[in-house]
Amino acid sequence: MTVIVDYDAGNLRSVQRACSEIGVRAEITSDPSRIRDAERIIFPGVGQASTAMRSIQNSGIDQAILDAFGTGIPILGICIGLQISLNRSEEGDVETLGLIPGHVRRFRMQNSELKVPHMGWNDVQVAKSHPILDHVQTGDEFYFVHAYYPEPENEACVYARAEYESTFCCALGLRNFFGTQFHPEKSGRVGLELIRNFMSWDGTVA
């Protein structure tokens, strides 16, 4: 069973449709017990980090995600789902889940022609291989909508980068967690390929 975590952060139906397009039935749920029992978890979201944290703490989803991470269930974090996997976010100055050591920073643009949020298609640079990035190549474009970006403490966690005035991490992973700042569910063929890779990933990295 694949579950899509519902914590009032939106974007759930587009993720579910993307799963359906590759032949996977994914259940949308806010039930912590369903999350713990899942074979794999998609943790998406758009919106504000402090609001997201308040929602998952009030519902018990935070502990369900921590338990799933601890037991090795494959987890795919998308956008806010990636950001709140780190220790702390500048968005609301909030302590987050801490699955991966690091912080989330706001873009501070020096170039007035570049706007925040960063919105639209952007090519990515693959930093190193990962089963979820099979068939994803440097130069492939994904869809982004964000004003904040992840900054993991350990470079070994960085799997892809993108550039928006400066270079930033756009995909990271540790053990059975993999997260993307971009939205694979809105990124056409290459995004669907990434989701398909996640569906066959056993949560380990060689």
- Annotated active-site residue in 91, 118, 183, 193: 183
Residue pair 142/190 in contact by the 8 Å Cβ criterion: yes
Q: Does 157 qualify as catalytic in the annotation?
A: no
Q: Does 90 qualify as catalytic in the annotation?
A: no
d(CA 140, CA 6): 29
- Annotated active-site residue in 79, 157, 169, 170: 79
d(CA 89, CA 148): 9
Nearest to residue 24, comparing CAs of 41, 48, 45, 43? 41
Query: Pairing between strand 177-180 and 166-174?
Result: antiparallel
- Annotated active-site residue in 130, 146, 185, 193: 185
Query: Pairing between strand 148-152 and 102-106?
Result: antiparallel
For residue 87, the 8-state DSSP code is S
Q: Does 146 qualify as catalytic in the annotation?
A: no
The rounded radius of gyration (Å) of the Cα atoms in the chain is 15
Catalogue the active-site residues: 79, 183, 185
